Amino acid sequence: MEVRIVACGIFQPELEQVLRQIREERPNDSLINVTYVPPALHVDYDKLKDGITGALDQVSEPKKILLFGSMCHPEIGEFTEKYHVVRLSPGNCVELILGKERQKEIEKSAKVFYLTPGWLQNWEDIFRRGQGWDEIDARQNMGFYDKILLLDTGVSEFSDEDLLEFFEYTQVPIEIEKVDLAVFKENVVKAIEKALDVESAVVAG
């Protein structure tokens, strides 16, 4: 049985790494294919909905996983219901990678805006072109946060210049926290197992 994952492009580096591991560990499992939805669509709910449903419309595999946070779109459950997808319960990409408990721990002492390597690679498409924010807009909107925390998953390279450019855009201090992909992999494996185990729609969690 083949499985199709429709995933936010923000996850692409992490997902490809995790799927390589899963294929090595579970060679007898079904063939897993992935379609990525452009991450910049997050700035417009209508475009995000169209991007997700458009990708799902092209899926021929009987088993489908939607790798988006449950809070990425307020109506994501409603407009994906007819596709009988397996969805994940974590609210966003940060929780999928970091885990809820670690996220709560971090936020006890500071107001944090999170970046993943995918967000850092796509921030101009998301904020400058998608949201239409210039530096003043960015600093007004980001000024609420005490710091920006980049979750370094170890699968994408970034430079000091990349970080400096985003800092100059936001004027919010940037810190880096190295994280492994254990939580993210666990979420992906759970979704694959549910997709293989059920014959109809399942909502994980």
Buried b (16+ CB within 10 A) or exposed e, 144-158: ebeebbbbbbebeee
Q: Indicate if 73 and 108 belong to the same structural domain.
A: no
Residue 35's Cβ-side half-sphere holds a number of Cα atoms within 13 Å equal to: 18
Question: What is the per-residue pLDDT across 128-161, written as a single tens digit (0 to 9) for each?
Answer: 988 899 999 999 999 999 999 999 999 988 899 9
Q: Indicate if 71 and 108 belong to the same structural domain.
A: no
Q: Indicate if 7 and 89 belong to the same structural domain.
A: yes
Q: Indicate if 8 and 78 belong to the same structural domain.
A: yes
- Structural domain that includes position 151: 97-178
Q: Indicate if 20 and 69 belong to the same structural domain.
A: yes
Residue 85's Cβ-side half-sphere holds a number of Cα atoms within 13 Å equal to: 28
Question: What is the per-residue pLDDT across 59-113, written as a single tens digit (0 to 9) for each?
Answer: 988 899 999 887 788 899 899 999 999 987 777 888 889 988 999 999 998 999 9
pTM of the model: 0.84
Instruction: Report the number of distinct structural domains present in the chain.
Output: 2
Q: Indicate if 136 and 167 belong to the same structural domain.
A: yes
- pLDDT score of 203 more than 80: no
Looking up residue 16, the CATH number of its domain turns out to be: 3.40.50.2300
Q: Indicate if 74 and 130 belong to the same structural domain.
A: no
Question: What is the per-residue pLDDT across 20-38, written as a single tens digit (0 to 9) for each?
Answer: 999 898 877 668 999 999 9
